[in-house]
Amino acid sequence: MSYQALTQPSSIGRVLDSGFKLFVASLKPVLLLIIVTATINIIMQYAMFQTMLPAQQFTTQEEMGQYMLSIMPQLVGVAIIMWLVSIILYNAILSRVGEVSKGGNGVLYDALIVGIRKVFPVFIAAILYSLAISVGFLLLVIPGLILMITLLFFQVLIVVDDEGIIASLKHSHTLVWGNYWRTTAVILVPFFIMYALIMVVAFAAGFFGAISTPDVVDGQMQMTFGVFDMLMAGVSVLMVPLLDSIFIAHVNDLKLRKSGSDLEQRMGG
């Protein structure tokens, strides 16, 4: 299925429709990446689970606290590795969706190269994004809520448009500024879909007994890594190309709106 990007500013409904069409068009090209990413996510989450799993039983809360402090370096190391690998794979998926949005199909190898090449720019931009939001929340909350939305599209601009770290954050802010509520309305839709899908999976897993619940053995809580955890890893990855597709479609719409505003200002001048 070929995809045609919007060529003029459109309503929220048309932007969402464009995003869903891009998702359908890009699903086949990114399917292998989705499977690989889901598999690696399950492996990494299991590794994190194993890192947290104590080798011995604890008799006091103090012993438990000391154990958690002792494994903190390992937890941080595993978490950073998980984050970097996830960024590489998510960059690759985003790159592939971006190619489809431009009328091409792309090559899996090229997408992975882009994922690796853009890992540190996205990593650093994500840290700056988090810092900006944190500072914004310290300043009476409202600035944090604004920056959370206005800076959101830095990864799309870095991976798809090949922009720099600071340039992507600035450009994202410029694009969304003046279109805050429109942007909020657009991005809430895929998040609601994600939430609904998670609820369906959780209900089905609970019905079939796939959810692993904590067991208390000899006064100690025992956790297991089960089918539900693997299902959630798969569902979360499946939502990535949908989120990317809607983000790309919306960024395209914002660019059309800004270019139209610039043209009006030049003609008015």
Return mean pLDDT, the chain. Answer: 82
8 A C-beta contact, residue 100 and residue 26: yes
8 A C-beta contact, residue 94 and residue 244: yes
Average pLDDT over residues 240-263: 87
Is the pLDDT at 219 greater than 60, yes or no?
Answer: no
> For residues 172 and 242, what is the distance between their CA atoms, to the nearest angstrom?
19
pLDDT band at 224 (very low <50, low <70, confident <90, very high): low
Q: Quick count: other Cβ atoms within 10 Å of Cβ 78?
A: 19
Residue 216 forms beta bridges with which residues?
A: 221
> For residues 150 and 240, what is the distance between their CA atoms, to the nearest angstrom?
20
Residues 6 or more apart whose Cβ sits within 8 Å of residue 105: 29, 99
8 A C-beta contact, residue 201 and residue 235: yes
Is the pLDDT at 139 greater than 70, yes or no?
Answer: yes
Give CA separation, 241 vs 80, 171, 211, 247, in Å. Answer: 23, 22, 26, 10
The pTM of the full predicted model, rounded to 2 decimals, is 0.82
pLDDT digits (tens, 9 = 90+) for 54-76: 555 655 667 666 766 777 777 77
